[in-house]
């Protein structure tokens, strides 16, 4: 197994201690969880850079990397919903978008087409990661609300953009 794939697996494995720290309510839990979240997020950036630089792109990486990202982000957002820091509907928007875009990619794949991550998807991912980091810190309620709004708006925008740019994939529906 190459290094990028090992980093992807590490990101998946780090979700367990991330959640355990929060649910077991260890001292300084939000800060420890934040450190784990940042470490896991950095493995995402690092594995992508290494894979592209060394031409180590694999089918496992194409499948597991985005899945690991979704698992990590969803775990953090589920925690925020549970503690009342994020409304459940906001998480639902994120989950629905992920399922919809994944479905669109599957339909496109059946037609021999690959839908690469677009600019708006990358902005969505980066802004979501930054907002999650901020939400682990003691920020004013207004900043937390702004973070939720940024997550929801970038999620909706990127989802709509994926479908608008690839609507021809759905032409026979």
Convert the pLDDT of each residue in 126-168 to its tens digit.
999 999 999 999 999 999 999 999 999 999 999 999 999 999 9
Long-range contacts of 51-58 (CB under 8 A, 24+ apart): 51/2, 51/4, 56/2, 56/3, 56/4, 58/2, 58/4, 58/5
Kindly list the domain boundaries of the chain, sorted by start residue: 1-72, 84-173
- Provide the 8-state DSSP code for 102: H
Output the DSSP codes for 15-31.
Answer: HHHHHHHHHTT-TTHHH
Flag whether pLDDT at 91 surpasses 80: yes
9's tokens: 């697996």
Convert the pLDDT of each residue in 13-72 to its tens digit.
999 999 999 999 899 999 999 999 999 999 988 988 888 889 888 888 878 888 999 999
Q: Model confidence at 76, in pLDDT bands (50, 70, 90)?
A: very high
Flag whether pLDDT at 109 surpasses 90: no
Contact 32, 14 (CB under 8 A): no
What 3-state class would DSSP assign to 74?
helix
Judge if pTM exceeds 0.75: yes
From the CA atom positions of the chain, what is the Rg in Å?
Answer: 17
Integer Cα distance of 68 and 17 in angstroms: 15
Contact 145, 168 (CB under 8 A): no
Higher pLDDT among residues 113 and 159, named by residue: 159
Which of 3-7, 115-119, 159-163, 169-173 is the least confident region? 169-173
């Amino acid at each position: 197994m190459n290094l990028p794939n090992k980093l992807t697996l590490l990101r998946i494995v780090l979700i367990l201690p991330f959640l355990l720290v929060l649910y077991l309510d260890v001292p300084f839990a939000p800060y420890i969880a934040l450190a784990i979240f940042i470490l896991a997020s950095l493995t995402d950036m690092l594995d992508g850079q290494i894979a592209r630089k060394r031409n180590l792109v694999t089918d496992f990486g194409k499948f597991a990397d985005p899945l690991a990202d979704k698992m990590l982000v969803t775990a953090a957002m589920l925690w925020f919903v549970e503690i009342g820091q994020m409304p459940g509907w906001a998480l639902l928007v994120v989950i629905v978008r992920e399922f919809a875009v994944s479905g669109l990619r599957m339909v496109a794949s059946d037609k021999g087409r690959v839908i690469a991550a677009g600019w708006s998807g990358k902005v969505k991912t980066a802004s979501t990661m930054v907002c999650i980091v901020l939400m682990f810190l003691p920020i004013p309620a207004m900043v937390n609300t702004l973070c939720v709004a940024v997550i929801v708006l970038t999620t909706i925008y990127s989802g709509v953009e994926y479908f608008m740019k690839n609507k021809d994939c759905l032409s026979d529906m």
